[in-house]
Amino acid sequence: MSAHRTPTLPPGRFGELVGIPLPVVQGPFGGGLSSVELAATVSEGGGLGSYGAHIHTPEEITALVAKLRAATGRPFAVNLWVPQEGERTELPAAALAEHVERLRPYYEELGVRPPSAEDVRSWPDFDAQLDALIAAAPPVISLVMGLPPRRLVAEARRRGIVVVGTATTVEEAVALEAAGADAVVASGSDAGGHRGAFLRPVRESLVGTFSLVPQVADAVSVPVVAAGGIADGRGVAAALALGADAVQVGTGFLAARESGASEVHRRILGTPEARTTVLTRLFSGRTARGIPNGFVRDMAAHEEHVPPYPVQNALMGPVRRAAAEQGRPEYVNLWAGQAAALAQEPSAAAYLASLVEEAVRAAG
């Protein structure tokens, strides 16, 4: 008699491309929300663990890839943010002082020192980050908010690295394939965290996941990964049925105890309070989706006045960190997708298994 085998999902084109048995990617979290433990746990479970490294220095990126290799022998991804036009790390002194004064009540309430101009200027350089990442040669390099530079594509092909780009519109997906991306993440407006629009303004790029995925699948020949609003097996099955080759799940894994999210952040995910999300520039200077809290509501009138990334991100860094440490959710960037209330499983390994089991059942 043959042993009973638990039904599972086939790897699909994306799984075959990157060498993983399950068509599930853990979303890469920036701003310190990623962790080596989470990425390794997902990779060991058969998915593609990911780590968002956009705030890391080149030296930290080199060390990070070494830590990930030590933690798992399976494929993993490291993610960077592509710079966008108009972003810079320096502002005139008077302008920077104005932005600091706007946030001074929060610095004082939380007992932290406002960042200096030097703190803002010392933000890591993308080209240097990319050089370090290419040299470290992780199995997969993923990007958001732009096209892969030509040198990345050339070096990745020489070194056997898979390059994954992120699109919020069909046009962006087509541009990514033309630029040499090996796969495209179709990131719908449902997704939590930062919006990756780069060909049009964010407000013109808010296409829902289940509208975006079939159109992208029809428009490109490379594997497509569906992202945004997928938090349980029903969403996985729906995305695959619509033509995706794999899914990328962010918020559900962010809720796992292995993530780098603060306790106050994880605690709110999976609750009725997580049913409402908004888009805001207030925490970083780039548009991101999160659960509205006191800070978002109090500062709503300043949405169009805060400086661009990375200046606003640097100015808000002390506020976010102190609020998380002090257990003050009203000042934490509570990134979450529109299905955040479905996040229930505290263990990343158990959550990955439940996604697969539920998807198999849902697909009939």
The rounded mean pLDDT for the chain is 95
Q: How far out from the chain centre does Cα 339 lie?
A: 15
Let me know whether 70 and 118 are in one domain.
no
- Both tokens assigned to 256: 């796992």
Above 70 in pLDDT, residue 3? no
- Domain hosting residue 315, numbered range: 89-122+278-335
Strand order in the sheet with 288-290: 193-194, 288-290, 278-280
Let me know whether 330 and 242 are in one domain.
no
Residue 6 falls inside a structural domain:
no
pLDDT of amino acid 9: 95
Residue 3 falls inside a structural domain:
no
pTM of the model: 0.95
Above 60 in pLDDT, residue 284? yes
337-356 per-position pLDDT tens digit: 999 999 987 899 999 999 99
Let me know whether 237 and 219 are in one domain.
yes
Q: Among 35, 116, 123, which residue's Cα sits nearest to residue 318? A: 116
DSSP H or E segment with residue 17: helix 12-18
Q: Are strands 162-167 and 49-52 parallel, antiparallel or unpaired?
A: unpaired
CA–CA distance, 335 with 27 (Å, rounded to integer): 12
CB 43 within 8 A of CB 49: yes
Let me know whether 132 and 181 are in one domain.
yes
pLDDT of amino acid 86: 76
Let me know whether 214 and 166 are in one domain.
yes
292-339 per-position pLDDT tens digit: 999 999 999 999 999 999 999 999 999 999 999 999 999 999 999 999
Residue 354 falls inside a structural domain:
yes
Residue 296 falls inside a structural domain:
yes
CA–CA distance, 163 with 183 (Å, rounded to integer): 7
Q: List beta partners, residue 51.
A: 78
Let me know whether 98 and 206 are in one domain.
no
Residues 6+ apart with CB under 8 A from 172: 197, 198, 199, 205
Above 90 in pLDDT, residue 177? yes
Let me know whether 109 and 183 are in one domain.
no
Let me know whether 59 and 113 are in one domain.
no
For residues 23-32, give the mean pLDDT: 94
The residue ranges of DSSP E strands in 139-265, in sequence order, are 140-144, 162-167, 183-187, 193-194, 224-227, 246-249
Q: Looking at residue 30, what DSSP letter applies? A: T
Let me know whether 78 and 20 are in one domain.
yes
Half-sphere CA count of 252, side-chain side, radius 13 A: 29
CB 333 within 8 A of CB 288: yes
pLDDT of amino acid 4: 55
CA–CA distance, 23 with 53 (Å, rounded to integer): 23
Which has the minimum average pLDDT: 30-44, 77-91, 230-244? Answer: 77-91
Any idea what the CATH number is for the domain that residue 146 is in? 3.20.20.70
Let me know whether 223 and 261 are in one domain.
yes
Let me know whether 189 and 316 are in one domain.
no
pLDDT of amino acid 220: 98
Work out how many domains the chain is built from and give that number.
Answer: 2
CA distances from 113 to 14, 61, 144, 193 (A): 46, 27, 31, 26
Q: Is 222 helix (H, G, I), strand (E, B) or coil?
A: coil
For residues 274-283, give the mean pLDDT: 98
CA–CA distance, 98 with 95 (Å, rounded to integer): 5
For residues 214-242, give the mean pLDDT: 98
Type of residue numbered 360: V
